[in-house]
Copies of this chain bind each other. A is one copy, B any other.
Amino acid sequence: MATTESDICAVGEEVVAAWNTHDMSRFSHLFCEDADFVNVYGSWWTGRERIEAEHVSTHATVFRRSRLSAKEMRVRFLSPQVVSLHMLWELTGLALPSGQGLPDRKGILVYVMVKEAGRWRIAVGQNTDIVPAPT
């Protein structure tokens, strides 16, 4: 069965669903065992275990009640075995542990996926906040 764009977008939708249930094991299993992920601060994490641990930490604090939504997804087939997904996202419900709210955020994620045992998983990911460029 040929992979369709919608098969790849389904992984993006599952990322969003896992984020919004704050189930970081579900989230991390969308990544390969040895995945590389770079977050919006340029922190580079290698391995599913590390990616999960870092997200468990933030989902216990600032992301605890956060809600991620995908505003646009675009799929690119790089080879029969590799695809990329760009996701424009918005994040609301951010708050400090004190309860003080933080501004909503927008950003863009790229996920590069490979097929492992019949399932598309994220091998390489990078996330960047969308902010006004200085003029």
Pairwise interchain contact B84-A112, C-beta atoms closer than 8 A: yes
Taken together as a complex, chains A and B put the C-alpha atoms of A48 and B112 apart, in Å, by: 20
List the B residue with the shortest CB-CB distance to A129: B42
**Secondary structure at chain A's binding surface: helix, strand, loop or mixed?**
strand
Pairwise interchain contact B124-A127, C-beta atoms closer than 8 A: no
A6 at the interface (CB under 8 A from B): no
Taken together as a complex, chains A and B put the C-alpha atoms of A130 and B41 apart, in Å, by: 5
Binds B, one of A12-20, A23-31, A74-82: A74-82
Pairwise interchain contact B86-A82, C-beta atoms closer than 8 A: no
6 contacts between A and B (CB under 8 A): A42-B128, A42-B130, A44-B86, A78-B81, A84-B124, A110-B126
